[in-house]
Amino acid sequence: MNFEELFAQYPCPFTDEQVKAQVADIEAKHFAENNNIEVWKECLHQIDYTTLSADDTIAKVEGMANAVNTFEAKFPGIPNVAAICVYPAMAEYVRKALKDPKFNIACCCAAFPASQTFPEIKVAETALALKAGATEVDIVLSVGKFLEGRYQDCFDEIAEIKAVCGEHHLKVILETGLLKTAENIWKASILSMAAGCDFIKTSTGKISVNATPEATFIMCHAIKAWKEKAGIKMGYKPAGGVSTTDEAVQHFTLVKEILGEEWLNNEWFRFGASRLANNLLSSIVGKETKHF
């Protein structure tokens, strides 16, 4: 891959200052119109209900599966979350506990969250996660390699893992809080899409700066440019730090205004979250609710 040509074909059209100004403008014009119960329901339906903690247990992830299993009976007319997201070693327990065999299980693989191991181990872990029951895979861009300009290494890792995933969706986490600038976030988005991923995702939730409206703005514009030039549609997932209803609506509004209505479903738009599910559900039913 000639990355000079790739980045010349897809140049970043924004400075950091322009991103901040345009995000503020979109929010001022459109946030209020989207801050309603129907949008809250859509946002709930787009959640990858997530636990990625060192103290995760079999009982905990089985409890998450039970929350999904019982949701529709307890809350008729409200759509369920999109997936359960766990570490690979927990995938088999989630799969056994879920009553719906088609319900999505996402696994954060490939040395999540730092992505600091050998490519062969990343590939092997991904394959094992899929064998254990994962239907979607989330991995982290090798940020250190990217910042050194080792673009081919980053590209090859993503392409090799996508080859293992086959028809299963591969989400690439850019860790935008470490990339920092609009230029870096844009280039990482383009590189990941060129390597064959299905989604690009903001963050791991494991560092101090996670999903920001500015990152959503940049990444959605990169997705739009990729669709216009390459003809390939990509999904988008803000994750890490999106916990309140207002924050979800903020990201929803940006996706709607930049990418359009066709992205506003859980095939193309997800949230990675843990607390968000209960907060959205509380907003929808009008009182504090802790189902998830």
Instruction: Give catalytic status of residue 29 as yes or no.
Output: no
Spatial distance between the Cα atoms of 133 and 93, rounded to a whole number of angstroms: 9
Among the options 122, 162, 187, 201, which is catalytic? 201
Spatial distance between the Cα atoms of 154 and 82, rounded to a whole number of angstroms: 28
What φ, ψ does residue 175 adopt, rounded to 5°?
50, 65
Spatial distance between the Cα atoms of 258 and 279, rounded to a whole number of angstroms: 25
Q: Which residues contact 33 (CB under 8 A, 6 or more apart)?
A: none
Among the options 162, 171, 187, 237, which is catalytic? 237
Q: At what angle do helices 119-132 and 151-165 cross, to 10 degrees?
A: 20
Instruction: Give catalytic status of residue 237 as yes or no.
Output: yes
Instruction: Give catalytic status of residue 201 as yes or no.
Output: yes
Q: What is the DSSP letter of 228?
A: H
SS3 17: helix
Other CB atoms within 10 A of residue 20 CB? 15
Among the options 48, 138, 198, 256, which is catalytic? 138
CB crowding 217-244: b at 16 or more within 10 Å, else e: bbbbbbbebbbeeeeeebbbbbbbbbbe
What are the strands, taking DSSP E only, across the chain? 47-50, 83-86, 104-108, 136-140, 169-173, 199-201, 235-237, 271-273
Q: In what helix (H) or strand (E) does residue 276 lie, and over which residues does it extend? A: helix 275-285
Residues with a catalytic annotation lie at: 138, 201, 237
